[in-house]
Amino acid sequence: MCGISGAVGLNNISELLFEGIKNLEYRGYDSCGVALMKNNRILVKKDIGGVEEFYRKHNVIQLKSKIGIAHTRWATHGKVTQENTHPFISSDGNFAVVHNGIISNYRPLRDKLKKEGFNFRSGTDTEVLAHLLEKFYKCSRNVEKAFIKTLSVIEGTFALAFISSYLPEQIFCAKRESPLMLGIGDEIKFVGSDFNAFIDHTKNAVILDDGEYAILSRDAYVVKSILSEEEVTKPITKIEWDSETSKKGGYPHYMLKEIYEQPQTISNALDLEPSGLDGVVDMFSKARNSYFLGVGTTYYVAKYAKYIFSQLSQEFFPSISSDEFQALANVDKHSLVFCASQSGETFDTLSALKHAKSKGARIAAVVNVMGSSIARLVDKVIIQGSGPEICVISTKAALSQMVILTLLAMKLALKKKVITRKTYNQHLQALRELPEIIQGVLNERSGFIHRLASKYSASRNWLYLGRGVYYPIALEAALKMKEVAYVHAEGMPGGFLKHGTLAMIDDDVFSIVFVPPPEDKVLYESTLHSIEEIRARSGFVLGIHFTPQGKNQDLYSEELILPKVPPLVAPLVQLVIGQLFAYFTAISLKRNIDKPRFLAKSVTVA
């Protein structure tokens, strides 16, 4: 979604604002802009394109100022044009606003304001905010009062910040259902959509709650309730992330860096405080019905959980895409709704959880971002400790969530006595071996995958096939291909192929098959049947498998042989191959790897 960054300090903040929105670019990157206070007048610069390009083109760093707000956009209302880029200024030029979210009643507000003579320059919902501030200021001659009045007439969701030439040393901001937080430094204060806006400068954050607004100046800040206008005492949250982890560190792209960080993030997941996991397992064991939720990648994480829980704990838990939850699920106080979310801010998942909570259900989550809306909403949260994930395409966060969910399934199975302590320990040992296995695969197979991806990069249609727990892996690997390479890739259960899709097999349709280890006999053999079905129609099959060289040699058109690994972790190892295959295909196709077109990492609108 859009990124907001603002700073007020003792010295020039232009460069800090640049770093701030640069670090938030993964939230949106259609266009960007900045409003700076110069000699008590507001100066706005904005343009389409990425942050670096914008700053260079308009020489923004040279515009010195001690207070400003900046924005990087992911368009929802209004096309990607310079006019529709934030910040927006009021007709009289005394207010400049940036906003994330959707002002749902902006049309009637705009029509009324137009009749009153306000001059609109964009097609966005946000612009009404600037004009409303001007209008209400004229009545009260008080910026704070004008702000409260503006907030009282707008509907929808927002995180917003503005500066005003009437109070040229203060930043005003507020939030409802879109994330916003303050960074508290000595003689400098920040506002940002998330920690990345200021992590290089302070690790002290104040997380705003819905219905709160804040006023920041160089030396002070105050948080108040929009409703009562009374001051709210807020705790300081210490950011545990290291700002260095947010840097590319020698890798050409964040995506590759984050894929390579997976051995570490899996180790972090396995080292999580056991009591936190046990508390969630307890919730599962007490609930009469439980659901797994997520959207996009995290829906596939939820789907993986469905398989691993029914396999290990011998209990079926449905997985539902968060956006479909209300249409499908019937929850009450005996239900548990467990979601996975990297950002902890995704609107669809947050709405589903709020709905479940309103029905009395217990809610829990695995989340990567501490202090995020979901982390604070749920009854129990597991903070997965994967560190910042900057690339829009999720890799390390998703894999770590899968590891954590495997652990939860094992713990539930042990609690229910459907597995013995010995089996539990064997599974745990398999998980403990996973970081080293993945490290080996990254070291030894990346070159081969790169060559394979280059060779087939012109292929425009891929079927990704897997059976059982390999099906969500196929779905997630296919999503990587779609997101980063813009290549059509369809994930499908192997057994489903013969019921229709087989008709498509020809020279232009390529298949990737995630083959389980032979020890997983039933799944392995049924997967081979799917491959035979394609090969019998002269279709192309890339087999990703664990069978020793030479065995089933003629089965595949191309093969990628993996070392023997414990069957429990085999699907997770294969997902890494899927990630790399998508990455290298995108490299061959010269795609915008970390910021694919039309996407945003954290989708905080409906």
> What is the separation of C-alpha 499 from the centre of its chain, rounded to a whole number of angstroms?
34
- The binder of ligand G6P chosen from 295, 363, 414, 605 (CB under 6 A): 295
Helix intervals (H) in 359-469: 373-377, 396-415, 421-455
Three-state DSSP class for 390?
coil
* Joined tokens for residue 76: 């929802």
**Residues noted as catalytic:** 2, 601
Asked if 298 touches ligand G6P (CB under 6 A), the answer is yes
Question: Would you give the binding string for ligand G6P spanning residues 363-392, x where CB under 6 A is met?
Answer: -----------------------------x
Instruction: For the CB of residue 343, give the shortest distance to ligand G6P in the complex, in Å.
Output: 3
Neighbours of 108 (CB within 10 A): 11
Question: Which is closer to ligand G6P, CB of 454 or CB of 592?
Answer: 592
Whether residue 503 contacts residue 532, with contact meaning beta carbons closer than 8 Å, is answered with no
Helix intervals (H) in 141-199: 143-153
Question: Which is closer to ligand G6P, CB of 561 or CB of 599?
Answer: 599
Using CB under 6 A, which residues numbered 135 to 194 contact ligand G6P? none
Instruction: For the CB of residue 346, give the shortest distance to ligand G6P in the complex, in Å.
Output: 3
Question: Which is closer to ligand G6P, CB of 133 or CB of 375?
Answer: 375
Q: For the chain, how big is the Rg over CA atoms in Å?
A: 26
Asked if 343 touches ligand G6P (CB under 6 A), the answer is yes
Asked if 604 touches ligand G6P (CB under 6 A), the answer is no
Question: Would you give the binding string for ligand G6P spanning residues 425-464, x where CB under 6 A is met?
Answer: ----------------------------------------
Instruction: For the CB of residue 101, give the shortest distance to ligand G6P in the complex, in Å.
Output: 16
Question: Which is closer to ligand G6P, CB of 381 or CB of 568?
Answer: 381
Q: CA-CA distance, 531 to 539, in Å (whole number)? A: 9
CB under 8 Å to 90, separation ≥6 — which residues? 96, 118, 130, 131, 133, 134
Closest CA to 576 of 403, 390, 383, 382: 403
Nearest residue to ligand G6P by CB is 296
Neighbours of 311 (CB within 10 A): 14
Q: CA-CA distance, 187 to 207, in Å (whole number)? A: 19
- The binder of ligand G6P chosen from 9, 101, 179, 296 (CB under 6 A): 296
Question: Which is closer to ligand G6P, CB of 170 or CB of 349?
Answer: 349
Asked if 589 touches ligand G6P (CB under 6 A), the answer is no
Asked if 100 touches ligand G6P (CB under 6 A), the answer is no
- The binder of ligand G6P chosen from 14, 150, 246, 349 (CB under 6 A): 349
* Joined tokens for residue 357: 């909570």
- The binder of ligand G6P chosen from 394, 574, 579, 585 (CB under 6 A): 394
CB under 8 Å to 25, separation ≥6 — which residues? 3, 50, 51, 72, 595
Give the strands of the sheet with 204-207, arranged side by side: 41-48, 31-38, 67-73, 3-9, 188-192, 181-185, 204-207, 237-238
Question: Which is closer to ligand G6P, CB of 5 or CB of 602?
Answer: 602
Torsional class of 432: left (φ above 0), alpha (ψ -120 to 50), beta (otherwise): alpha
Q: How many chain residues interact with ligand G6P (CB under 6 A)?
A: 16
Asked if 539 touches ligand G6P (CB under 6 A), the answer is no
H/E segment holding residue 580 = helix 570-588
Question: Which is closer to ligand G6P, CB of 94 or CB of 602?
Answer: 602
- Which range touches ligand G6P (CB under 6 A), out of 92-100, 296-304, 355-363, 515-523? 296-304
- The binder of ligand G6P chosen from 96, 419, 603, 605 (CB under 6 A): 603
- The binder of ligand G6P chosen from 342, 400, 574, 585 (CB under 6 A): 342
Asked if 395 touches ligand G6P (CB under 6 A), the answer is no
Whether residue 13 contacts residue 65, with contact meaning beta carbons closer than 8 Å, is answered with yes
* Joined tokens for residue 244: 């260095």
- Which range touches ligand G6P (CB under 6 A), out of 111-119, 230-238, 335-343, 447-455? 335-343
- Which range touches ligand G6P (CB under 6 A), out of 38-46, 47-55, 135-143, 595-603? 595-603
Instruction: For the CB of residue 593, give the shortest distance to ligand G6P in the complex, in Å.
Output: 14
Give the torsion sign (CA, 254, 374, 243, 67).
positive
- The binder of ligand G6P chosen from 264, 346, 384, 511 (CB under 6 A): 346
- Which range touches ligand G6P (CB under 6 A), out of 134-142, 408-416, 439-447, 597-605? 597-605
Which residue has tokens 């083109």? 57
Whether residue 542 contacts residue 452, with contact meaning beta carbons closer than 8 Å, is answered with yes
CB under 8 Å to 174, separation ≥6 — which residues? 147, 151, 158, 159, 160, 180, 208, 212, 213, 214, 226
Which residues make up the interface to ligand G6P (CB under 6 A)? 295-298, 341-343, 346, 349, 392, 394, 599-603
